[in-house]
Copies of this chain bind each other. A is one copy, B any other.
């Protein structure tokens, strides 16, 4: 594999039409590709655009992982994989790359956005390494940083950064994952000794699925019900040592190993239970709630509910980073599948003997190109999310409203991008046939590792339900007593325009007009503005519909109100998904609107259109039922997508090259040019055989000769 990786990527199907070998007749598509030499994208400029606001941090991280010590070894047994990943984290520290978000006094750089950007790129090396780094610095460390105060930072943050203190983040329990408020672990204050007693009262309260718990963790940030003076003040976080330096469980601590998982097997996930474990009172991470020596509780946030959500919200970066990592993973899959599809040939077209390149098949374009458009949309949307995150956590825009918006945005985007990544990786794997199933070609490993992204850091369905509830509550809050039309318009204000920054659409409308003369009639009515109207209108209508359906709930007995909500749960989740899709589309549109190079803007506008039309096609029945699209226009959506696929096909390689991956990031032999080499060799063999006169004739041609003398 290393040999392949070290080989320079051949510039096949890039810039120049392929099939330069004299024996290869140009296919119809190759001719079309040559004709389509304008417009072209400026690959380097698009790479910059995709790398986004923290391009430099991403480049540094990518540069670091060109070292093969950071690469996943497919099939490595679990114990060795775990050790390898731990070693990778040490290298990461040695490279000075850890704890970038921490304050300067603890060796950090106070760089929140850059920290996540750099961290997300690690998925290219080994997602286990990315997530183990996330556990150490993003969860365990962040709990100390975000929920603790200076005494805690002073005590532990430098050691967390250098991995002198590896730790676990002990929130989830066997019995409670999504419903954190209901966890069973207790932290009971004992004023006699000035200690908290951490206890697991029953098996279901065992902390579960924790990275670093099975082997490497020395301490854990443990979420438990804080009880003092006979009162339960709800979930708080405590710093609890769990293991001695020689790796033994401390007294009262029992750790267990989760064993083999569906992926991420470089991480030692495990369970922790506590048998009346005593920790100093000072180990309560007391930023949002404290207990004094007498046992009196105090908090800067009087409302228990708001306090709880504030604490959880302080840990939003996990969701933010998964949105980015999933997007990078999907981009890698697209790079591999499209590069292969541009080289691999199968079946002749019935015209001559030349076999057809996979990407010239209509079906193959349909499978890969809309998902490529989606990956672009995610990249743009993620950069917006990251800017918002950096604004809040860097302190520049740290208001309760901004925090709530950030949490909602992360909860809307993470489900979409993690699901999309799985869908895209699987489609890419299948599009590469048997070769796609070989571990060396990366696609199966990506799917295995990213699988759990859909349910961790918040189950995707639960997150979307949160978003839906936020949409509903804002809806209800702001428009009490107003009329239905005002209500209906609200959702768009909430979801769309705030992110879209108003001017975007107008600039974009202009851009569309510039290229209007080349548009075919079928595309009229499905341009940028209409796409936006359709996508935004859907959010607006769905939120209104659910809100209307739930309106009687307030006057119903609780059981019936719960049943009514349950009846509309799926619709609410779909409304939240529509909201996320709209945000992604808008981010893409905004990204395109800022492009100055005409060729790049043209091609990315097509790609944005493909994304928009693909979303509309997914929900076509909804648009038809609601009368928002006529049958005729709806039918044209699919044709328009086909046309956009054909139009984008010559640009497909440019568009994946623009992800900017080096061979050391890709590593898949099928995307290395080896396929092309084999085909050239086969072609040369047949050409030589034909020239030698020794080639066998086909039975068919013989029969023709016999029957037609």
Contacts and interface: CB of A to CB of B under 8 A. Distances in A.
B177 A433 contact: yes
Given A259-B440, A265-B75, A681 B203 contact: yes
A599 interface: no
A631 B642 contact: no
A41 to B, nearest CB: 25
Interface string A342-379: 00001111110001000011110010000000000000
A444 B262 contact: yes
Contact of A625 (B177, B297, B422, B631): B631
A618 B489 CA distance: 29
Interface in A442-501: 443-445, 447-448, 451-452, 454-456, 459-461, 465
Interface stretch (A168-176, A275-283, A518-526): A168-176
A189 to B, nearest CB: 11
Contacts of A245: none
A429 interface: yes
A634 B631 CA distance: 14
Contacts of A700: 304
A634 B681 CA distance: 55
Nearest to A634: B625
B360 A566 contact: yes
Nearest to A307: B699
A559 B642 contact: no
Interface stretch (A204-212, A331-339, A605-613): A204-212
A290 interface: no
A562 B75 CA distance: 43
Nearest to A440: B259
A201 interface: yes
Interface string A670-706: 0000000011011001000000000011111011000
A130 interface: no
A512 interface: no
**Interface range for A:** 35 or more
A424 interface: no
B179 A346 contact: yes
Interface of A is mostly: helix
A561 interface: yes
Identical chains in the assembly: 2
Interface stretch (A16-24, A155-163, A229-237): A229-237
A415 to B, nearest CB: 11
A635 B545 CA distance: 13
A2 to B, nearest CB: 14
A320 to B, nearest CB: 20
Nearest to A641: B570
B361 A566 contact: yes
Contact of A202 (B422, B568, B625, B681): B681
A709 interface: no
A351 B562 contact: yes
Given A260-B440, A621-B620, A202 B362 contact: no
Given A177-B346, A178-B346, A438 B259 contact: yes
A136 interface: no
A400 interface: no
11 contacts: A28-B562, A177-B434, A179-B355, A259-B439, A361-B569, A362-B567, A433-B455, A617-B621, A624-B625, A624-B631, A625-B634
Given A232-B697, A426-B451, 10 more contacts: A176-B346, A182-B355, A202-B682, A232-B696, A259-B439, A260-B440, A304-B698, A430-B455, A430-B460, A434-B456
Nearest 3 interchain pairs by C-beta:
A262-B444, A75-B260, A620-B621
